[in-house]
Amino acid sequence: MITTTDLRKVYRSRQREVVALDGVDLHVPEGEVFGVVGRSGAGKSSLIRCVNLLERPTSGTVTVDGTELTALSGPALRRARQQIGMIFQHFNLLSSRTARENVELPLEILGLGRRERATRATELLELVGLADRATAYPAQLSGGQKQRVGIARALAAKPKVLLSDEATSALDPETTRSILKLLRDLNRDLGLTVLLITHEMDVVKAVCDSAALMRSGRIVESGRVADLLATPGSELARELFPLGAAPTREGGTVIEITFHGESSGQPVIAQLARTYTVDPSILGASIETIGGRQVGRMRLELPGDFEQNVVPIGFLREKGLQVTVVSGEPRPPAAGTAVQERLLDGAEELGTQLLPDDDQPAGAKPAAATEPATTDQPAASDQPTTSNERGEKEDRA
């Protein structure tokens, strides 16, 4: 629905040049809520303002719903932009107009008659849950109510795309949740594609199907939120599901498990404890239900050093979990050395002997034996042992 190709934006003044966008290739599929995150100055606002050509990009193309906006100007560009609504951090309402009159503004520009404008504005205010405040002025509305007026106004011309520039940054957490729910409902009910920029990871977790991370004017990582968790080394996954600093104490094997399963949960940690008589300690967890799937990360400490835990780790991997050994593993010898081969051979043998029959697919090797211990395993579906609703975060340390 939205595609940018090699998008560059350079701000030039007499003293200096600032490269705000440095070759951004972005693709937002139709019907998705897509979040762009990044630190202050990463280029997020420049990107969203270039998408609807509030800023003219220095080079590159922007295509929305099949129309290349960067090839247009004048009335043709104004018409194409009607497909794109936008909401802002500080709402940008006209203080001299009532809520309904603010919503009517784009309809006036479109040339609709008074009665038609009033009918459409009333419908839109109903859609955003604000029908009873139609005659209130912005100063008489709360922040959340102002943003609802802003959303109604953005939808006035029936756009296919909604751009959101830090729309919840000025709101308290509860109001943020209600506005995000409204955006999600509009996305589902109207098939609206939403591109939002934010610096809040909680916004991405609460509402986004996909996310991209920007740094220094570039997109350095992007993908569907649940899939990012399956990407070894994903910076977005680490920031979305933080576990805090890993402990430095000696004597145990610390592992991190990534859950991104699809079906109802299997109590794998309990199974691990029962099957191998180990007592894992939970050092941290960040798990949520997103789109009906439980996703997240958990950090566990298993008693004993890595060699004592090769088989339990293999068991977790056999269950389809992605496991990374954080500490407690022996320092790896150079690849392919006799010592490492002996260690892996030993682990394979141990795993074959010790994995219970019902957990050992015919002909399968324990994952720990087939991969170096620190390599992330591409995971199939699995579930953690706890269950949370969307938006609830479990952080145990």
Ligand X SMILES: Nc1ncnc2c1ncn2[C@@H]1O[C@H](COP(=O)(O)OP(=O)(O)OP(=O)(O)O)[C@@H](O)[C@H]1O
Site for ligand X in 193-252 (CB under 6 A): 199
CA distance 304 to 327: 11
Nearer residue to ligand X within complex by CB, 46 or 324: 46
Tell the smallest beta-carbon distance from residue 301 to ligand X (Å): 37
User: Starting from the edge strand earliest in sequence, which strands make up the sheet with 210-215, in order?
Assistant: 84-88, 161-165, 193-198, 33-37, 210-215, 218-224
Supply the minimum distance, in Å, between the C-beta of residue 13 and ligand X: 6
Beta carbon of residue 199, minimum distance to ligand X (angstroms, whole number): 6
Q: Which of 35, 38, 85, 314 binds ligand X (CB under 6 A)?
A: 38
Q: Which of 50, 130 has the CB closer to ligand X? A: 50
* Closer residue to ligand X (CB): 46 or 286: 46
The interface mask with ligand X, positions 317-346, x = CB under 6 A, is ------------------------------
CB neighbourhood size of 99 (10 A): 29
Smallest gap from Cβ 9 to ligand X, in A, equals 8
The residue within the footprint of ligand X, chosen from 41, 60, 223, 265 (CB under 6 A), is 41
Of 20 and 107, which CB lies nearer to ligand X in the complex structure? 20
| Sheet (strand 59-64) strand order | 17-28, 2-12, 59-64, 67-68
Query: Which of the ranges 40-48, 112-120, 255-263, 350-358 carries the binding residues for ligand X, by CB under 6 A?
Result: 40-48
Gap between the Cα atoms of 367 and 137, Å rounded:
64
Q: What are phi and psi of 324, to 5 degrees?
A: -120, 130
**Cα–Cα distances in Å, from 288 out to 3, 176, 274?**
30, 18, 25
Binding of residue 45 to ligand X (CB under 6 A): yes
Residue 152 near residue 124, CB atoms below 8 Å: yes
Out of 20, 26, 287, 300, the residue judged to bind ligand X by CB under 6 A: 20
Total of residues contacting ligand X (CB under 6 A)? 12
Which stretch of DSSP H or E encloses residue 113? none
User: In the block, which residue shows the tokens 């180990």?
Assistant: 278
Query: Interface with ligand X by CB under 6 A: which residues?
Result: 11, 18, 20, 38, 40-46, 199
